Chains A and B, each alone.
Chain A
Amino acid sequence: MKLTRRDFLKISSAATAGLALGGCTTMGFNMQPVQEQAWRLRTQDAKETPTICCYCAVGCGILCHTDKRTGKVIYTEGDADHPINRGALCAKGAATYQVAQNDKRMTKVLYRAPYSTQWEEKSWDWALRQIAKRVKDSRDKSFTRKNAKGQVVNRCDGIASVGSAALDNEECWIYQAMLRAMGLVYIEHQARI
């Protein structure tokens, strides 16, 4: 495999990041000067933003380094000031750079029509308007004012929701608020499974 200098720098920093819990692989030669240079090149002028890992609930601190010119995250590492992880991360936390920079991320709203064999790209405006119409239609048709016993229940029996433990607290709260205002009762998420 032929490596460009850039590839090599990428690999070396990935190797260090991935080895938070173990020792340091030297690959048979001293990598110290190369790593130091890589550090300077990648993060000089970068803006540091603290965040918390998106995977398990240990809640490790991660620092994102953002290139000020491009606005892109160019490097992520364990937050040494964080009292729980003190700079260390597991393999997943160490790889979060690949969440930020990943060409497989979905960047467009997609729609699949009934019985269609493919996705179509759509605009946000169109999609949200269509979804709102579906919600209203389903809700109005399935809304139960009174149950079989004649008790007032005011609920929407025809729509269900799952998700999500991946949302922020504030998002969880407004999500439950809008679902309950719509009358949904089938509201569930990862905590149950």
Chain B
Amino acid sequence: MTNHWIDIKNSDCILIMGSNAAENHPISFKWVIEARKSGATLISVDPRFTRTSSKADFYTALRSGTDIAFLGGMINYILSHNKYFQEYVARYTNACFIVGKKYGFHDGLFAGFDPKTRKYDKSYWAYELDANGVPKKDYTLKHPRSVFQLLKKHYSRYTLDKVSAVTGTPKEDLLKVYELYSATGKPDKAGTIMYAMGWTQHTVGVQNIRAMAIIQLLLGNMGVAGGGVNALRGESNVQGSTDHCLLFHIWPGYLPTPRASAATLADYNKKYTPVSHDPLSANWWQNKPKYVVSFLKAMFGDAAHAGNDFGYGWMPKLDDGKTYSWLDLFDAMYRGEFSGFFAWGQNPACSGANADKNREALARLDWMVNVNLFDNETASFWKGPGMDPRKVKTEVFFLPCAAFMEKEGSITNSGRWAQWRYKAQEPPGEAKPDGDIMVELFNEIRSLYAKEGGVFPDPILNLKWDYTTQGKYDAHKVARTINGEFTRDVTLKGKTYRKGQLVPSFAFLQADGSTTSGNWLYCQSYNESGNNMARRDNRDTSGIGLYSNWSWCWPVNRRILYNRASVDLMGRPWNPKKPVIAFAGEVQDGKYVTKKWVGDVPDGGWYPMMNPDGTPRSDTKYPFIMKPHGFGAVFGPGRGDGPFPEHYEPIECPVEKNLFSSQFTNPVAAVYRTQKDVYKTCNPRYPFVCTTYRVTEHWQTGVLTRWQPWLLEAEPQLFVEMSEELARLRGIQNGEKVIVESPRGKVEAVAMVTKRFRPFMVQGQEIHQVGLPWHYGWVWPPDGGDSANLLTPSAGDPNTRIPETKAFMVNVRKKGV
């Protein structure tokens, strides 16, 4: 989230799309309801009428997988009805940039597409630069190759008729949503989006979010109270685990994992550090070399020094152009590439798309380690459905771990608040905290290498690994390493810091080895003023619910990201009633003479762009400091599938053509080729659109919740929800057992016939959609059903490679028929 949970109360219009927040993030609704009490409008757009919809002022449905069409229509509406926030768009977004002459878009393809490699050459989307290498701008937005005019042209194709024919949403409903939401384009109004996996789990997942980000920028909703682009994250620490980068492509703090072509640290810095020639661009990532060296120092301690490139050579490198994502990982495992596997605090036998492929892949390992609280479908895969244990070679080690109240440490919520947790009891039996298991396991591995030698032992022997106190894992020691410390006495900004002292915040990190920091984004979380994540002062002094002294949030306790876009060029809040920050420096002769911001921690504390007398300042920076050029990205030339979101059909869909172009599906979508990767479109055997979702009483694969009698009693088994019309068509009664099957697998489920699903009229055809929760698995409870991911396809978004589990095709039939 660019904003945070409590901030939702500041919104004037809340769009919940791609999420069922009332069901899956229930307490978020405390703040949605608070906003409604103050007059906010709540809109719910979902293929199914959900608990969220039941609280909405306006609800409408769309067919799964057509969000870009829906949102593209909104962009068209905003532009053609002049609903955008002119000054914000012109001055804070890249709408004013001039795009180079090579850019083009024709019949569903952007310029630069190579049909052979199925890849785009992004150089075709580059900006036109001036003599200094700075993008040319036209603040009037009139230049025919300005981003603004290209945007207008692109989305003029998204007419109400076409959007309605694709999405199945009635035209008057589309108009209603567009009108309600675009009313937030006024300076003192804010609209927010609450989305979740309903948007991300598509082969156009990233572009779904991009489409909404464009809307938020057009309406001036970024950086303001009650605005933002807000991903509702589904796991208690999925924000933190992402920040600390348990992901192939990034190191902690979103530093790119090096590719083989970056042989040295200097190569790395050259390749990955963005350059801006505009003195008004903060280009924050220019600091990357400081964060990288501080990270390597945290990894290897004194063993990392300038003489050995700070241990850069010890870190593994990825092959250029190759991806190692979840889908790739299970594909490689299925093809027998791995001998060993850790499934640590995760149940991939149920959680991954195309679960049967993943389960078979597990059988091709030599050994696997599973760490969990309860038995689960991954640990016990070898005795699961369709497996003959006597033929499965995989050795399995199951390690029982502590629950969250049996250990100490921090987790980061969706609003980026890192909150400290304490231990309330000992783990049961021989179960241990994960931290202890890691420390002890790595000690064993290290001592083997110390004793026996082995291949390239250097990184293993040199890893800093001093995270225990009296033999036990100590979260405080790790938290200090993540924050970072000075490795020698240094004087910075006129103040001397002693060796061993904790670094106050990331502005103090250095590229010369004088500082360590395991994750620059968390630098300040645990410093000389103490463990800031443990703070519990619940007074709000901001008036807009920032609660800045409760826990700590990254970066530098800034509660609302991009907050310098919440003020005008002179530093005055667009909405004086709900100011996030405001410039409070003294004025002399129409000029600011002292520097002072009040409110939230500003996104860089520079002077505003202009003096009160309207003269521009040269000691200022553009507000979007993380973007190389400093402007919010309406045009997104960094994405793999195009700078503007374009509607493509899901890999599996019910229609024979894409009404927007002859390019049927995302031309660069990730698809796989083993015999288990089967995709079927417009196949009469699989006539219904299907989506997966969750219920309040269970969590993810149910690995924790299926074992709790209170929760299991409330939601005891797998069901498939369908419309009355579909049930009639298939002769299915509510409560009957039915079979749901896709080209990849099938599950048995109880039919739940409701009015919440309605057939769609799509391209003049009646289309049915069904949905299932994915919380179940064969291990427990008996007869509870198996994972809905047995049905979902292993096809993914080209940027993130997240699987398309929210739109695919199935058949539903009565059991035994």
Contacts and interface: CB of A to CB of B under 8 A. Distances in A.
A163 B344 contact: yes
B662 interface: no
A57 B424 contact: no
B325 interface: yes
Interface in A141-171: 141-143, 145, 147, 149, 151-171
A41 interface: no
B405 to A, nearest CB: 5
Interface in B227-271: 232-248, 251-252, 257, 260-261, 263
A192 B326 contact: yes
B316 A117 contact: no
Interface in B321-371: 324-326, 328-329, 332-333, 337-346, 348, 351-353, 366-367, 369, 371
Contacts of A143: 455-456
Given A57-B232, A58-B28, A59-B413, A18 B395 contact: no
Contacts of A105: 373-374, 400, 403, 428-429, 431, 707
A25 B467 CA distance: 49
A84 B93 CA distance: 32
B237 A169 contact: yes
B339 A168 contact: no
Given A136-B445, A138-B340, A163-B342, A106 B421 contact: no
Contact of B337 (A54, A113, A133, A158): A158
B344 A180 contact: no
B403 A99 contact: yes
B238 A140 contact: no
Contact of A169 (B244, B263, B348, B428): B244
Contacts, number: 483
Contact of A113 (B257, B348, B395, B435): B395
A135 B340 contact: yes
Given A88-B30, A91-B711, A117-B389, A172 B246 contact: yes
Contacts of B316: 153-156, 180, 183-185
B536 A130 contact: no
A139 B27 contact: no
Contact of B463 (A21, A51, A181, A186): A181
A99 B318 contact: no
A154 B317 contact: yes
Q: How large is the interface on A (under 10, 10 to 19, 20 to 34, 35 or more residues)?
A: 35 or more
Which residue, A92, A110, A193, has most C-beta atoms of chain B within 10 A?
A193
B449 interface: yes
A172 B263 contact: no
Given A105-B400, A107-B428, A132-B444, A95 B710 contact: yes
Given A111-B397, A166-B235, A180-B315, A173 B244 contact: yes
Contacts of A169: 237, 240-241, 243-244, 409-412, 418, 479, 482, 522
Contact of A159 (B340, B389, B405): B340
A73 B405 CA distance: 9
Contact of B441 (A18, A128, A167, A171): A128
Contacts of A184: 316
Interface stretch (A1-9, A32-40, A64-72): A64-72
Given A83-B547, A193-B351, A160 B342 contact: yes
B339 A176 contact: no
Interface stretch (B66-74, B181-189, B502-510, B797-805): B797-805
Given A55-B236, A72-B425, A95-B710, A164 B389 contact: no
B710 A188 contact: no
Contacts of A139: 454-455
B398 interface: yes
Given A59-B413, A153-B317, A191-B238, A83 B6 contact: yes
B399 interface: yes
Contact of B341 (A18, A156, A159): A159
Contacts of A95: 705, 708, 710-711
B398 A111 contact: yes
B108 to A, nearest CB: 27
A158 B367 CA distance: 11
Interface residues of B, number: 169
Contacts of A162: 326, 329, 341-344, 346, 348
Contacts of B153: none
Given A163-B342, A167-B345, A131 B369 contact: yes
B207 interface: no
B696 A116 contact: no
A115 B389 CA distance: 6
A72 B374 CA distance: 19
A153 B478 contact: no
A109 B400 contact: yes
Contacts of A66: 424-425
Given A58-B27, A58-B413, A106-B373, A152 B404 contact: no
B482 A115 contact: no
A169 B698 CA distance: 23
B519 interface: yes
Contacts of A100: 403, 405-406, 424-425
A28 interface: no
Interface in A84-119: 84-86, 88-93, 95-96, 98-100, 102, 104-117, 119
B314 interface: yes
B589 interface: no
B317 A155 contact: yes
A190 to B, nearest CB: 6
Contact of A154 (B248, B313, B467): B313
Interface string B699-726: 1100011011111001000000000000
Contact of B404 (A54, A60, A138, A170): A54
B339 A142 contact: yes
A155 B459 CA distance: 11
Contact of B711 (A92, A114, A124, A157): A92
B422 A135 contact: no
Contacts of A45: none
Contacts of A128: 437, 440-441, 444
B363 to A, nearest CB: 11
A153 to B, nearest CB: 4
18 contacts: A47-B424, A51-B422, A54-B236, A59-B417, A84-B6, A98-B707, A104-B375, A107-B400, A140-B455, A147-B319, A152-B260, A155-B317, A155-B318, A159-B339, A170-B475, A170-B479, A177-B464, A190-B351
Given A128-B444, A140-B455, 16 more contacts: A55-B699, A83-B538, A92-B705, A96-B405, A98-B711, A138-B366, A155-B318, A158-B338, A159-B339, A159-B341, A165-B345, A166-B346, A169-B244, A183-B459, A193-B326, A193-B352
Top 5 A-B pairs, shortest CB-CB distance? A107-B429, A59-B413, A164-B345, A168-B409, A163-B344
